[in-house]
């Protein structure tokens, strides 16, 4: 199943079959605008989603690309851990000074 923030009948069926609650964005079209309550729900979900996706967007900017070249799983785990630590320290500095 491809990653998408928007709902479809197939995605909702899959989520329900696997015991998940669907928290997917609702998408309007040119001739069918979303009602106000659906727009508000999208705003609520996108606030959370954007904060999480920001982490994955910032890491390649700061550390180059996300491809790791090296030998051994332990080294890869250590590199990812150091990247996450650097991100968290930078984020802490941003929040503490604000």
Domain-located, residue 7: yes
CB atoms within 10 A of CB 96: 7
The 10s digit of each residue's pLDDT in 87-98 is 888 889 888 886
The 10s digit of each residue's pLDDT in 31-65 is 888 889 988 988 888 888 888 888 777 777 776 66
Domain-located, residue 70: no
Domain-located, residue 73: no
- Domain of residue 6, residue span: 1-52
Task: Return the exposure string of 69-92: e unless at least 16 CB atoms fall within 10 Å of the residue's CB, then b.
Answer: eeeeeeeeeeeeeebeeeeeeeee
Reported pTM: 0.49
pLDDT of residue 8: 80
The 10s digit of each residue's pLDDT in 9-37 is 888 888 889 998 877 788 888 888 888 99
Domain-located, residue 72: no
The number of domains in the chain is: 1
């Amino acid at each position: 199943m491809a990653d998408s923030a928007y709902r479809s009948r197939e995605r909702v069926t899959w989520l329900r079959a696997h015991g998940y609650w669907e928290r997917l964005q609702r998408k309007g079209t040119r001739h069918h605008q979303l009602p106000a309550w659906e727009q508000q729900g999208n705003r609520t979900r996108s606030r959370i989603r954007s904060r999480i996706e920001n982490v994955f967007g910032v890491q390649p900017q700061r550390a180059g690309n996300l491809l790791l070249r090296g030998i051994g799983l332990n080294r890869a785990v250590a590199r990812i851990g150091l990247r996450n630590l650097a991100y968290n320290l930078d984020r802490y500095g941003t929040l503490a000074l604000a």
